[in-house]
Amino acid sequence: MSKRDFYDVLGVDKNAEEADIKKAYRKLARQYHPDVNKEADAEEKFKEVKEAYDTLSDSNKRAHYDQFGHTDPNQGFGGAGGGDFGGFSDIFDMFFGGGGRRRDPNAPRQGSDLQYTMTLEFREAVFGKETDIEIPREEPCTTCDGSGAKPGTSPETCTKCGGAGQLNVEQNTPFGRVVNRRVCDNCSGTGQQIKDKCRTCGGAGKVKKRKKIHIKIPAGVDTGQQIRVAGQGEPGVNGGPAGDLYVVFNVKEHEFFQRDGDDIFCEMPITFVQSALGDEIEVPTLEGKVKLKVPAGTQTGTHFRLRGKGAPNVRGAGQGDQHIQVKIITPKKLSDRQRELLREFAEESGTIAPDEQSENFFAKVKRAFKNFG
């Protein structure tokens, strides 16, 4: 079977620039790589693309090919005879992120972040406070100074990888010899091994401890909000910076106040006389008692607002209000004199007497059953 034109194989013009040839090759090599493409002819197509690129990417070989094509008996390069894919692993690394691109295990890395959930009383959340908390976290082992080695000894160069942290594993494949880089399983990529481990930390170089941290809780925090305490997370690795601590708040409910954002809500009981005649009552707020004028004729459920008596905004954008809903309390027990006065009040106001009202009500019910029965 005759070979296809190399320019057709790569899908480029005969006057294509070197950059265009390389771009076309990268695309096709990725498409037909046998480790990615499982079609039956993928291997042959990959070989064809590789051969075309080897020829056209070299200026001397390309000049020979342009003059003699596939018939030149003196080419001596890139025939279909299969040759050795000595650069196969480099190709794989180029396109699929081989071992040479793995992150350096000895590079500095930031420590992990920690989260601490704190329960606050209602007033503590509104006004804020400063306090100390204790968190469990890893600290460098003081016995071995974080080395993981027994005092008096030190980590040694890994005998398996020679300190490289990686191993080159060679394999013979149908495409030639392949060299893969893998993390050394003896030192976990650090390039060092500990023969005599520290008894305190077991060679980890870190131990779990409880650390006391002073934090400042801003006024106005609410359930679900959090603050970040920089640098108080887990310590960094290989000299990297420590992580951060996130304190998440859970605010307890109050027996009298409710909160919605920066506003505070409460319900205030008043008597029938206060609602009818009006009065000046004392209302509790988070900052102490204040006077509130209740106008005569106030109905149950009426809302009043005290400006600036709510919770402060946690971002410093002012302060919320306190909303008060009055609820008229009806006495359950009346003396004979109180009953007499209420009947007189009903007569003066033209209100139907309770007995008469009951009779009229039951008469209406009786008529309803009669009409719809």
Q: Which structure tokens are listed for 204?
A: 């980890």
User: What pLDDT is attached to residue 76?
Assistant: 38
User: What pLDDT is attached to residue 215?
Assistant: 94
Which residue, chain included where needed, has tokens 């941290």?
213
CA angle 89, 87, 20 (to 5 degrees): 105
How far apart CA 66 and CA 76 sit, in angstroms, is 15
Band of the pLDDT at 354, cuts 50, 70, 90? low
Q: What is the pLDDT of residues 198-241, one digit of tens each?
A: 999 988 888 988 999 999 999 999 999 999 999 999 888 777 88
Q: Which structure tokens are listed for 261?
A: 């954002």
Lowest mean pLDDT among 26-30, 31-35, 159-163: 31-35
User: What pLDDT is attached to residue 66?
Assistant: 80
Higher-confidence residue of 236 and 290: namely 290
295 pLDDT more than 90? yes
**Over residues 151-165, mean pLDDT:** 87
User: What pLDDT is attached to residue 81?
Assistant: 38
Does 266 belong to an annotated binding site? no
Tally of helices (H runs) and strands (E runs) in the chain: 9, 15
- Start-to-end CA distance of the chain, whole Å, equals 101
- The phi-psi region of residue 200 (left if phi > 0; otherwise alpha if psi is between -120 and 50; otherwise beta) is alpha
Instruction: Give the range with max mean pLDDT: 98-102, 167-171, 215-219, 239-243.
Output: 215-219
User: What pLDDT is attached to residue 27?
Assistant: 87
User: What pLDDT is attached to residue 86?
Assistant: 39
Angle between helices 88-96 and 18-32 (to 10 degrees): 90
Q: Which structure tokens are listed for 69?
A: 């094509």
Does 184 belong to an annotated binding site? yes
How far apart CA 48 and CA 29 sit, in angstroms, is 10
DSSP-derived pairing of the beta strands 303-306 and 263-271 = unpaired
How far apart CA 368 and CA 7 sit, in angstroms, is 98
User: What pLDDT is attached to residue 368?
Assistant: 59
Longest dimension (CA), the chain: 131
Angle between helices 42-56 and 59-68 (to 10 degrees): 100
| Residue 342 burial (C-beta neighbours within 10 Å; 0-12, 13-18, 19+) | middle
Contact 243, 114 (CB under 8 A): yes
How far apart CA 88 and CA 173 sit, in angstroms, is 10
User: What pLDDT is attached to residue 253?
Assistant: 93
In 3D space, the residue among 269, 263, 302, 298 whose CA is nearest the CA of residue 283 turns out to be 269
Band of the pLDDT at 348, cuts 50, 70, 90? confident
**Over residues 103-117, mean pLDDT:** 81
How far apart CA 285 and CA 56 sit, in angstroms, is 85
Q: What is the pLDDT of residues 296-347, one digit of tens each?
A: 999 999 999 999 999 999 988 899 999 999 999 988 888 999 888 888 888 8
Q: What is the pLDDT of residues 237-266, one digit of tens each?
A: 777 888 999 999 999 999 999 999 999 999
| Residue 108 burial (C-beta neighbours within 10 Å; 0-12, 13-18, 19+) | exposed
- What is residue 55's three-state secondary structure? helix
99 pLDDT more than 50? no
How far apart CA 44 and CA 33 sit, in angstroms, is 10
In 3D space, the residue among 161, 138, 301, 147 whose CA is nearest the CA of residue 209 turns out to be 138
Q: Which structure tokens are listed for 40?
A: 């039956």
How far apart CA 256 and CA 252 sit, in angstroms, is 12
User: What pLDDT is attached to residue 108?
Assistant: 82
Does 141 belong to an annotated binding site? yes
Q: What is the mean pLDDT of the chain?
A: 82
Contact 169, 197 (CB under 8 A): no
User: What pLDDT is attached to residue 363?
Assistant: 63
Share in percent of the chain as helix, strand, coil (round to 5): 30, 30, 45
Q: Which structure tokens are listed for 7?
A: 């320019």
- What is residue 109's three-state secondary structure? strand
Higher-confidence residue of 213 and 352: namely 213
User: What pLDDT is attached to residue 80?
Assistant: 39
How far apart CA 198 and CA 279 sit, in angstroms, is 77
